Amino acid sequence: MSEVSIYHNPRCSKSRQTLQLLEQRDIQPKVIDYLNNPLAADELKDLLHKLGFISARELMRSKETIYKEMNLASVTDEEALLDAMAAHPKLMERPVVVCNGRARLGRPPEAVLDILP
């Protein structure tokens, strides 16, 4: 069976629901606490590719206070957005499930089902 990973925030209800959905299907994913182990900018870029996203903004939580404080809405440089997410992992939308070189954002949790083995 392919390894399944989840970028997880235990305080987030969607993240908990997505993890539960995986476990109900007898999938024990590698749980990555991205808040305490932030992704580097190049890892975020790879994750964006797996998600099929064009812009880092698609993976950003635009309602976070830090997003507004850093005035990220006006930033157009993709590298700057990736660097901001790497420095402030709270900006990354969650949960993200990765399997077989593909990824899905678990919003809603069922969205991850199409990449699972």
Distance CA 102, CA 71 (A): 31
Q: Tell me how far apart the alpha carbons of residues 110 and 17 are, in angstroms, rounded to a whole number.
A: 9
Q: How far apart are CA 86 and CA 95, in angstroms?
A: 16
Q: Where are the domains of the chain?
A: 1-34+94-116
Q: Please say whether the beta carbons of 117 and 19 come within 8 A.
A: no
pLDDT on residue 1:
53
Domain 1-34+94-116 classification at class level:
alpha beta
The active-site residue out of 12, 32, 70, 115 is: 12
| Global confidence as pTM | 0.95
pLDDT mean across residues, the chain: 96
Q: What is the pLDDT of residue 2?
A: 77
Residue 12 falls in the annotated catalytic set:
yes
